[in-house]
Amino acid sequence: MRPLQPSPPTPADAYGAGARRARWRETLAPTGNAGDALFRAALLLAALVLLLLVVSMIAAMAANSRLSLRAFGFGFLTSRAWNPVTGQFGALPFIYGTVVSSLLALLISVPVSLGIAIFLVEQAPRQLARPVAFIIELLAAIPSVIYGLWGIFVLAPVLREHVEPLLARWLGWLPLLQGPITGIGLLTGGVILAIMITPIIAAVVRDVLEAVPVTQREAALALGATRWETTRVVLANAASGIAGAIILGLGRAIGETMAVTMVIGNRPQISASLFAPSYTIASVIANEFTEATGDIYLSALVELGLILFLVTFVVNGAAKLLVWGVTRGTSGTARAA
């Protein structure tokens, strides 16, 4: 509802310079008040500054990776080389490592997060739901480096001594689970990422489930559905929001640096086995950027950063759109994480 409209335009000044000025006035100062106009302009400036920051980041990275873009072109995306001595660089092992570790993390985390969210929204008594939700959100606040340290000192030995030998024994016929077992590799990276993205996915799915109108649940129950069938109805309603949450978690997993670099082995290779060490884009930049001497070396690292930036941008944008699509127009505590 627009308060205090300026005098409505007559047919004569619906077009032309006068009309344009009137439209500008309306945009900048809908209330016709100068103070409001100033406030509005200041907020607009703040929003534009942020936008400008993002655009300038992309521009700076593109400028700095010019050398590498020129030298390797699209071959950069398919080359497996990473040789600072000869100056041959390629992104494929890093893209592989990033994608596989993130997908593995999703595979482990999504059922767990969905379970947590459904439990908190549908099953848990109020007194239990709140502290559990709080603790889960606390997990999201733990710094990445702490996860990395815990990974090296606790998770890697556990995987090496107990989990990976078991997997090799039962499922060793799969090329996915063959090879030497050191506890440091794609599997450990994937597990740590799964632990890190579970709270995010759980929190967003919980909001999305709470945003489903209670009438849906009541209708299902009224038709004689069991608890589980009701939950299925709720999940079907919230499907696009859940997809958004999963993509959000994926976005976080793709960009995660410190925890992953400590447990993934930092080896730019593409191996079929999950026990083998690997390398993600974020890890290689964190490890090698400060010491990279050589213009093309630096340029290749910046180009990797550009690839990561664009991928994260797209993934997060898609997630936000999906979640917004499902939670807008509903009442209550719906908020995107």
32 close to 6: Cβ distance less than 8 angstroms: yes
Q: Which residue lies nearer to another protein by CB, 113 or 266?
A: 266
Q: Does 244 bind another protein (CB under 8 A)?
A: no
Q: Compute the distance between CA of residue 178 and CA of residue 174 in angstroms, rounded to an integer.
A: 7
Q: Which residue lies nearer to another protein by CB, 103 or 149?
A: 149
CB of 184 to another protein, least distance (A): 6
Among positions 61, 105, 114, 156, the unique one binding another protein when judged by CB under 8 A: 156
Q: Does 152 bind another protein (CB under 8 A)?
A: yes
CB of 101 to another protein, least distance (A): 15
| Cα–Cα nearest to 155, from 185, 178, 127, 177 | 185
| Cα–Cα nearest to 87, from 78, 79, 95 | 79
Q: Integer distance in angstroms from the first to the last C-alpha of the chain?
A: 29
248 close to 337: Cβ distance less than 8 angstroms: yes
Among positions 72, 82, 147, 275, the unique one binding another protein when judged by CB under 8 A: 82
Q: Which of residues 165-184 bind another protein (CB under 8 A)?
A: 180, 182-184
Q: How far is CA 145 from CA 230, 261, 263, in A?
A: 41, 10, 11
CB of 172 to another protein, least distance (A): 15
**Range list of H helices, the chain:** 16-28, 34-64, 66-72, 75-78, 92-118, 126-141, 144-150, 156-158, 164-171, 186-211, 214-222, 227-237, 239-255, 258-263, 281-288, 295-327
CB of 267 to another protein, least distance (A): 6
By CB under 8 A, which span of 2-10, 27-35, 112-120, 288-296 interacts with another protein? 288-296
Q: Does 86 bind another protein (CB under 8 A)?
A: yes
Q: Which residue lies nearer to another protein by CB, 12 or 85?
A: 85
CB of 280 to another protein, least distance (A): 12
CB of 144 to another protein, least distance (A): 14
> Which spans of this chain sit near another protein (rule: CB under 8 A)?
81-86, 152-153, 156-157, 160, 180, 182-184, 261, 265-267, 277, 279, 287-288, 290-293, 297
